[in-house]
């Protein structure tokens, strides 16, 4: 399948979602918009389907990929100052997948959502490349601050990362943890409140 065919298939799929949703979209999906986000979306897609070209059927059967694809579109529109359209695609992603990713969040390439249901990535959060985030995770506001999360971070189910804090690269956050302070690079943090049980600094 060529890139042009990938774009055409994704446009058809997104158009179907738009028509089937309770939201009103003022215009059709633009194939140029889909093409513009394809280079980063394929890195997300390959986390779930390595070394495969994008297959729209795989996306249609994967709520996590639906959420990511619609976030990528919404994010592109947000950066282009098309806020009302960005909001529509964000809400469509939540409606279809049960996963909420705000379009003002900045997320690097290679995002993988595992199961995903109930996960919320709040407004203005920052996440690096190759993040792996499980179901029921909340990343968001505390006292007006939002987290900055490094590359190659794994956040297990039910965890919360809240407020103005930094999570370093290669960190693992254990299930049901509540993180409200900085976590150094390479650390493993668990518990509520989260405590560091392993750190590269101690090695």
- Give domain limits for the chain: 3-98, 106-202
CATH 2.60.120.10 fits 106-202, yes or no: no
How many other β-carbons are positioned within 10 Å of the β-carbon of residue 180?
17
Mean pLDDT by 10 residues, the chain (203 residues): 88 96 89 96 96 92 98 98 96 97 98 97 98 98 97 98 98 97 96 86 50
Q: Which long-range contacts (CB under 8 A, 24 or more apart) does 53-62 make?
A: 53/1, 53/6, 54/1, 54/6, 54/9, 54/10, 55/1, 55/9, 56/6, 56/9, 56/10, 56/12, 56/13, 59/10, 59/13, 60/13
């Amino acid at each position: 399948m060529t890139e042009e065919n990938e774009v055409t298939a994704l446009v058809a799929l997104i158009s179907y979602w738009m028509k089937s949703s309770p939201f009103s979209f003022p215009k059709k999906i633009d194939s140029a918009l889909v093409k513009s986000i394809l280079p980063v979306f394929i890195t997300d897609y390959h986390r779930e389907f390595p070394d495969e070209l994008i297959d729209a059927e795989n996306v249609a059967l994967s709520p996590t990929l639906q959420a990511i694809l619609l976030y990528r579109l919404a994010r592109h529109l947000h950066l282009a100052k098309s806020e009302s359209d960005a909001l529509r695609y964000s809400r469509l992603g939540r409606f279809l997948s049960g996963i909420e990713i705000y379009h003002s969040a900045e997320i690097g390439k290679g995002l993988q959502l595992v199961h995903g249901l109930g996960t919320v990535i709040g407004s203005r959060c920052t996440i690096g490349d190759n993040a792996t985030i499980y179901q029921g995770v909340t990343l968001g506001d505390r006292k007006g601050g939002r987290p900055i999360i490094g590359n190659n971070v794994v956040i297990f189910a039910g965890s919360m990362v809240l407020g103005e804090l930094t999570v370093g690269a290669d960190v693992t956050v254990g299930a049901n943890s509540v993180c409200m302070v900085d976590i150094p690079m390479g650390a493993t943090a668990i518990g509520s409140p989260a405590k560091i049980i392993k750190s590269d600094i101690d090695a």
